[in-house]
Amino acid sequence: NAGVTQTPKFRILKIGQSMTLQCTQDMNHNYMYWYRQDPGMGLKLIYYSVGAGITDKGEVPNGYNVSRSTTEDFPLRLELAAPSQTSVYFCAIGTANNQPQHFGDGTRLSIL
């Protein structure tokens, strides 16, 4: 999707490992979001940011951390990966009325 780039697209982790999911936008929007999507479910908000230096927890923040040092980047870090974190992770940016409007293509993460 134009404007939001997520890397990597796929990753397999072992239990206890850590990793950072990258999200970069080129649309200069202040609001950015991280969601997870489990099979057969809708998206659950993990963290969001209203601008550089400002982040806040969403619905399911446990086991994750974020930072927002620039407008463009909003990385999501998993510490001590657990099987329950196996999911597809989507980054999104907010445009009109600061709601999530544009999504990246997702990172498919498996923890074994």
- Site residues, other proteins (CB under 8 A): 1, 4, 31, 33, 35, 40-45, 48, 50, 58, 90, 92, 94, 96-106
Q: Which is nearer to other proteins, 11 or 44 (CB)?
A: 44
The rounded distance, in Å, linking the Cα atoms of 64 and 97 is 26
Supply the minimum distance, in Å, between the C-beta of residue 35 and other proteins. Answer: 8
Residue with tokens 């404007």: 3
Q: Which is nearer to other proteins, 48 or 74 (CB)?
A: 48
Supply the minimum distance, in Å, between the C-beta of residue 12 and other proteins. Answer: 17
Q: Which is nearer to other proteins, 43 or 78 (CB)?
A: 43
Angstrom CA distances, 85 to 30, 42, 93, 109, stand at 27, 15, 22, 8
